Amino acid sequence: MSSYSITAARVTHPRAVRGHGSPAAFVAAVTGRRILDVRRRGKALLLLLDSGDSLLVRLGMSGRLQVHAPDDPLIPHTHVVLALDAGTELRFIDPRTFGGMAVVTGHDPAFMRELGHYGPEPLDDAFTPAVLAEILAGLRTNIQAVLMDQSKIAGIGKIYADEACFLAGISPLRSAGSLSPDEVTRLHAAIRQVLAHSIEVRGTSSKDAAYRDSGGEVGGFQHHLHVYQRAGLPCRVCGTPIEYRPIQGRRMHFCPHCQK
Ligand SMILES: [Zn+2]
């Protein structure tokens, strides 16, 4: 993708480009631009443009980018179509319309106002156990809520928070600040393991299968889940039924035996 240019753009759902004054303003900002590189930040993708700006793609709950041939029929919820000089189209599809596209200034996500609320990326080398310990220190909020707070750590949703706590053997009832150094190290390893594994098997599709990877396939991660959406089923490690109950207003899956 790194050498492709956007030869034309059309917006079929104006809400998807709501950050711009009008769909025409968005089309003008991307047409003729070359895509130099693609980066990911939390639940967003950045297409670095040769104008010095970036096309920020917020995936939201269910958004995805797919490459199509121009004569492929538009699948439902296709909101933006970018024609590439390669003869293909890059299409933004978002059934729940929480996501969107916007041209933002610069190439460096660290300086983007639009992304300023994201904490560190858990798969970055800079995300060490010491960094995680610093994030958690002194917090009385439960560990699960902190893991899912995008301003603390980027890109961890409910599934990955449930699964990481299970792998680390830490109860979601615990407050974030109560973890020992050993537990922080285990949680750090578990977060990385769960995210890396998810990427390897192309993401997770929940029961409504709204999530697809960029090739349109349903993800395979759900077949490897230990606790998420397994309420009442036996723990894969100890056989105890998995619990699913609200903790500080948030429902969480966990094994009451394996997670302390
Ligand atoms: Zn168990």
Q: Nearest 5°: CA angle at 204, between 216 and 206?
A: 95
Give the whole-angstrom CA distance, residue 206 versus residue 76: 19
Distance 233 CA to ligand 1 centre (A): 10
User: How distant, in Å, are the alpha carbons of 83, 158, 190, 249, 260 from that of 197?
Assistant: 33, 16, 10, 29, 24
Q: Which residues pair with 250 in a beta bridge?
A: 247
Distance 169 CA to ligand 1 centre (A): 9
Q: Which residues pair with 34 in a beta bridge?
A: 5
Q: Which residues surround ligand 1, an ion (CB under 5 A)?
A: 235, 237-238, 240, 255, 257-258
- Give domain limits for the chain: 6-115, 129-254
Q: According to the model, what pLDDT value does residue 247 have?
A: 76
Distance 191 CA to ligand 1 centre (A): 18
Start-to-end CA distance of the chain, whole Å, equals: 46
Distance 223 CA to ligand 1 centre (A): 17
Q: What pTM was estimated for this model as a whole?
A: 0.60
Distance 258 CA to ligand 1 centre (A): 4
Give the whole-angstrom CA distance, residue 18 versus residue 85: 26
Distance 235 CA to ligand 1 centre (A): 5
Q: According to the model, what pLDDT value does residue 243 have?
A: 96
Which residues, given as ranges, of the chain have pLDDT below 70? 1-2, 116-117, 201-222
Same topology between domain 6-115 and domain 129-254: no
Distance 208 CA to ligand 1 centre (A): 27
Distance 200 CA to ligand 1 centre (A): 25
Give the whole-angstrom CA distance, residue 190 versus residue 236: 17
The CATH number that domain 129-254 falls under is 1.10.8.50
Q: Which of 258, 137, 260, 120 is nearest to 191 (CA)?
A: 120
Structure tokens at 176: 């974030």
DSSP-derived letter for residue 217 is P
Distance 36 CA to ligand 1 centre (A): 47
Q: According to the model, what pLDDT value does residue 185 have?
A: 97
CA contacts within 13 A on the Cβ side of 143: 31
Distance 206 CA to ligand 1 centre (A): 22
pLDDT > 90 in the chain, percent? 61
Strands 64-68 and 89-93 turn out to be antiparallel
**Domain 6-115: top CATH class:** alpha beta
Q: According to the model, what pLDDT value does residue 259 have?
A: 97
Inter-residue contact 147 to 161 (CB < 8 Å):
yes
Distance 256 CA to ligand 1 centre (A): 7
Give the whole-angstrom CA distance, residue 186 versus residue 133: 11
Q: According to the model, what pLDDT value does residue 207 have?
A: 45
Distance 210 CA to ligand 1 centre (A): 29
Q: According to the model, what pLDDT value does residue 212 have?
A: 52
Q: According to the model, what pLDDT value does residue 220 have?
A: 60
